[in-house]
Structure 1
Amino acid sequence: MDVVVLIGRVLFSLLFLGSAFGHFAQTDAMAGFAQSRGIPMPKIAVLASGVLFGLGGLSVLLGVWADLGSLLLAVLLLPTAFLMHGFWKETDAQTKQVEMVSFNKDVALAGAALMLFAFFAHVDDLGLTITGPLFDL
């Protein structure tokens, strides 16, 4: 079972680590998009969210307070969904569809991150982690 959980952690974390890399490799483009969505200080917001995605992804991947990392990702994903992917504001059908998919992806990932948080904070023997949980549910 430990190996299955580890594989799940790796697969889950890859998305966030890739996203974090993208935030740093494409900062200006992402900041332009964030600015178009009305995000204040868009470049700083892009860099900060990149750091948080990276920290959360590494935390889950390595099993270093993976409960905290999961919670961090959930807390970051929900506002991102609403602030960056407001499909209900779009008038172009194709843009609306793309934003709806991105919104739903962020909400679903937030739900998965919350489940991981509960799992990591509740299970006594996590196996294949560097630290135990920070929280105790």
Structure 2
Amino acid sequence: MPSGHAADPKLPRQADRPLAALSPLDAIGVGFAQAGALLTGFSRAGLTMVGGLWRGLENEHAAKFAFLLATPTILGAGLVELPDLAEPRIAAIRGPVLLGAFVSGTCSWLAVRYLERYFRTRTLLPFAAYCIIAGTLSIIRFM
């Protein structure tokens, strides 16, 4: 019997690839999927995860890649806004803004940790169902 992914249980199926097995071409494909979030109503993280799954990543690794791709964008946006915190008109709210940024960062880190554990054994199906329901309700509400 010829050896192949389906016949040889020692070889991972294409949909079981770890993040380290993602080729540069696959990463570009995931990036193009992420670009779909430029359209109103599309989740950047959701599209990135779907792109990762489409390129054969495991659920957990598709989610991790989506979070990794968000990091430079969030950091860049924060750095662009940083000079505004030095302005005198912001002095009265500087403390609450910094505290809010810290709490937001901490909550984001905790959420990513939870989702990484969640996706080790579960699928993106609940997220997909949520997106379909929320999208449908939005269309009905805002038509």
For normalisation by structure 2, the TM-score amounts to 0.34
Work out which of the two has the higher radius of gyration on C-alpha atoms and give 1 or 2: 2
For normalisation by structure 1, the TM-score amounts to 0.35
